Chains A and B, each alone.
Chain A
Amino acid sequence: MPELVDPILVAVLVLNFRLLGTSRLRTAINASAMQGALIGLLAVVMHGALEPRSTFIGIVAFIAKGLIIPILLNKAMSEAAIRREIEPYISFVTSLVLGAVATAAAVLFADRLPLAPEHVGSLLVPTSLATVLTGFLLMVTRRKAITQVVGYLVLENGIFIMGLCLHDAMPSLVEVGVLLDLVVAIFVIGIVINHINRDFGSLDIARLDTLKE
């Protein structure tokens, strides 16, 4: 099944652009869910034969990133009764252009890094870097708390792909640590979102501006 690796990575890259170009929060959450599910799948198929450890991690990632977290986010969204990312700090077209530049930069940069023999010619490292940069872009250019959390998820997806490159070499504690932290972080952030929503009557983080010089 390793022949599936590159198609999955291409799909991950396409989803990055889907995320950058949409104003609908539901679309963004679903795109990040699909990306998370694909990455879980990636962990399973990467090693050819079905190997227990990577299959387990793949399934955990699939459930956490593809199901649980999107459900939590969708729930937070309906409670807050907001649907769209209105007025991001930069327009959606500009985000897409910047996303394209970031992806190109990631490919060029990854090309300069020496790779282990098993990763030469694969899209793993460039996709990882491009996804990390997309996550960053989402976090700094969007105003809604939920979109920022989605950005953080995308960032972590990129890091997870990098972690997969090291799958054989590193004990699973680190990978599980990633997932655990993700769930906990989102959980904590979710609670905070609830409080922000209750106290400020909005999920617009631009209203969080009392603390400044």
Chain B
Amino acid sequence: MLLIALILLPLLLAVAAFITPSERTRPWMVPVGAVVELALVVLLLRQPGDPAAFGGWVVLDKLGRIMLPLVCILFTACAFYVPAYLRLRPERPNRVFTAMLLTFLSMMVLITISHHMGLMWVAIEACTLATAPLLYFNHNRASIEATWKYLLIGGVGIALALLGSFFLAYASLASGLHASLLIEDLVRDAPLLSLPWLHTAFIMLFVGYGTKMGLAPMHTWKPDAYGEAPGVVGALLAGGLTTGAFMSILRYYQVCAAAGEGEFAREIMVVIGLLSMAVAGVFMVGQRDYKRMLAYSSVEHMGILMLGMGIGGLAAFGALLHVINNALTKGALFIAAANIHRAFGSKTTDGVSGALRRVPISAGIFVAGFFAITGSPPFGPFLSEFTILRGAVEAGRYGVAAAFLALLFVVFVGMGTTVLAVVQGKTPADMPSTGFHDSVGTVGPPLILLAAVLVLGLWLPSELETALRAAALMVETGK
């Protein structure tokens, strides 16, 4: 019952937002929806076992118990930024924007709890379509171009993922089994599945959902989309949608692992993971557009997630922890970047300088977020990246560990140069002021996200650690 309410409630609110006539009250429906959704999630998490609905198509399992609250917490923080942001943009109608944000929430939640590969695919597709109008919010040439690339490249990725899902279903048909796309059935029958179909399916799904995650070399839409999207949309894409796509890949990995073909999947993950980090590193060095820089940072961290899962064992646990850290830090960074963008009217280092003087809190969050995301103690990502590194060494993958460290260093230097250029120095007198100042509405949400990242770096609650270990075990063994 609760599971169904979780999906329906934001959808109904989206309709309500769409028919609400007032441009001023409508944005507040987003935080209201987010808080109610979060309350439902808390209620749901208190139910023991794996609550299920729709004949097992929708299940909250061990992996969902981590991803569902994460997505909702990130969305809630972003939701409280929305009214403040839309008040700064009174010239743009917000009817479609608010309705699509709530639809996005519903579909994100559905991704984390769907246990049927077809349903999960529909949810990801719906998320993609719902975010297109969000990207296009500014209605200018650059945002058209970004939306076009996002739809076309994302559309091909989604199409490949569907073909992969069909191949997976055919893998059971080809071995004379009853074809099903329910995860329970697939994991149970995994050892009997036809291997050529299973391998082809995994590759297609990996490329397909990897495109949505933004792994190199399928990442080309990402800098454009994140660069042109409103900051809060960037936060939701980089922290939410990528997390959902990662989770989809884990579902298929789970089937592969249960079939005894985990090694095959892990090798692909390690190679693509390192490649993504390397590509991101190359494009971050000398990057002058700080929103595009964040997009490449997202490519890098998707690579780290894949690398961790690919190494396996302790590193897989680290990767799941890193999903949380990455999502929360990206949320803070994108919103802080949006504030700086608002304050200077430019998103390159040519037009922004001395942000610490003009918007001290936003710029402070930006710098702290930079240290957090590049893995500096005492923030959460340090802990998760260090765990992945330890996992690599424990597994005897010294070469991989060395490459991981080297790439982290490149990214740190590249990103640091851009961040310092933005926040340090004096603002030249001829740099136009937009009249934007830090306010509770614009710095509150990123501060809370940053505080959460800091707490996770200092203290990992034992319940969370147990839950993460259980989820990692489930993904790696299918149990």
A residues whose Cβ falls under 8 Å from a Cβ of B: 112-116, 132, 136, 139, 145, 148, 152, 155-156, 158-159, 162-163, 165-166, 169-171, 173-174, 177-178, 181, 184-185, 188-189, 192, 195-196, 199-200, 205, 208, 210-211, 213
B152 adjacent to A162 (CB under 8 Å)? no
Partner of B224, one of A112, A159, A166, A211: A211
Per the bound structure, the CA–CA distance linking A200 and B148 in Å amounts to 13
Per the bound structure, the CA–CA distance linking A114 and B167 in Å amounts to 12
* Interface 9-residue window, one of B119-127, B410-418, B442-450: B119-127
**Given known contacts A163-B166, A211-B142, is B151 in contact with A181 (CB within 8 Å)?**
no
A-B contacts, 24 listed (Cβ < 8 Å): A112-B196, A113-B194, A113-B200, A114-B174, A115-B174, A116-B176, A145-B148, A158-B163, A162-B163, A162-B166, A162-B170, A165-B170, A166-B173, A169-B178, A174-B121, A177-B125, A181-B122, A188-B129, A192-B144, A195-B144, A196-B144, A211-B146, A211-B224, A211-B227
**Given known contacts A113-B196, A177-B121, is B155 in contact with A192 (CB within 8 Å)?**
no
Per the bound structure, the CA–CA distance linking A213 and B223 in Å amounts to 9
Partner of A192, one of B151, B200, B227: B151
Provide the residues of chain A in CB contact with B136, threshold 8 Å. 192
Residue ID in chain A nearest B221 by CB atoms: A211
Partner of A113, one of B174, B178, B181, B224: B174
Per the bound structure, the CA–CA distance linking A199 and B139 in Å amounts to 10
Provide the residues of chain A in CB contact with B178, threshold 8 Å. 169
Residue ID in chain B nearest A140 by CB atoms: B156
Partner of A155, one of B149, B156, B180, B227: B156
B300 touches A (CB below 8 Å): no
Per the bound structure, the CA–CA distance linking A169 and B118 in Å amounts to 13
Which of B142, B145, B151, B197 counts the most chain A CB atoms within 10 A?
B145
Provide the residues of chain B in CB contact with A152, threshold 8 Å. 152, 155-156, 159
**Given known contacts A112-B196, A169-B169, A211-B224, is B159 in contact with A156 (CB within 8 Å)?**
yes
B174 adjacent to A116 (CB under 8 Å)? yes
Q: Which of chain B's residues 100-158 have a Cβ closer than 8 Å to chain A?
A: 118-119, 121-122, 125, 129, 132, 136, 139, 141-142, 144-149, 151-152, 155-156, 158
A185 adjacent to B151 (CB under 8 Å)? yes
Partner of B167, one of A139, A162, A181: A162
Q: How far is the CB of A18 from chain B (nearest CB, A)?
A: 21
A170 adjacent to B156 (CB under 8 Å)? no
Per the bound structure, the CA–CA distance linking A189 and B132 in Å amounts to 10
Provide the residues of chain A in CB contact with B174, threshold 8 Å. 113-116
Per the bound structure, the CA–CA distance linking A116 and B173 in Å amounts to 6
Which 3 pairs across A and B sit closest by C-beta, in order of nearness?
A169-B179, A174-B118, A211-B224
**Given known contacts A181-B125, A196-B148, is B142 in contact with A173 (CB within 8 Å)?**
no
Partner of B159, one of A148, A155, A208: A155
A159 adjacent to B159 (CB under 8 Å)? yes
Per the bound structure, the CA–CA distance linking A196 and B173 in Å amounts to 44
Provide the residues of chain A in CB contact with B173, threshold 8 Å. 116, 165-166, 169
B148 adjacent to A208 (CB under 8 Å)? yes
Provide the residues of chain A in CB contact with B170, threshold 8 Å. 116, 162, 165-166
B61 touches A (CB below 8 Å): no
Per the bound structure, the CA–CA distance linking A213 and B289 in Å amounts to 10
B162 touches A (CB below 8 Å): yes
Q: How far is the CB of A140 from chain B (nearest CB, A)?
A: 9
B163 adjacent to A188 (CB under 8 Å)? no
Per the bound structure, the CA–CA distance linking A175 and B118 in Å amounts to 9
B28 touches A (CB below 8 Å): no
Per the bound structure, the CA–CA distance linking A188 and B224 in Å amounts to 19
B228 touches A (CB below 8 Å): yes
Which of A113, A145, A156, A200 counts the most chain B CB atoms within 10 A?
A113
Q: Which of chain B's residues 220-258 have a Cβ closer than 8 Å to chain A?
A: 223-224, 227-228
Residue ID in chain B nearest A196 by CB atoms: B144
Partner of B145, one of A158, A208, A213: A208
Partner of B148, one of A112, A166, A170, A192: A192
B145 adjacent to A211 (CB under 8 Å)? yes
Per the bound structure, the CA–CA distance linking A175 and B204 in Å amounts to 19
B18 touches A (CB below 8 Å): no
A208 adjacent to B149 (CB under 8 Å)? yes
A170 adjacent to B169 (CB under 8 Å)? yes
B283 touches A (CB below 8 Å): yes
Known: A148-B152, A162-B163, A173-B119. 7 other contacts (CB 8 A): A116-B176, A162-B167, A166-B166, A169-B169, A177-B121, A192-B132, A192-B144
Provide the residues of chain B in CB contact with A136, threshold 8 Å. 156
Provide the residues of chain A in CB contact with B119, threshold 8 Å. 173
Q: How far is the CB of B123 from chain A (nearest CB, A)?
A: 10
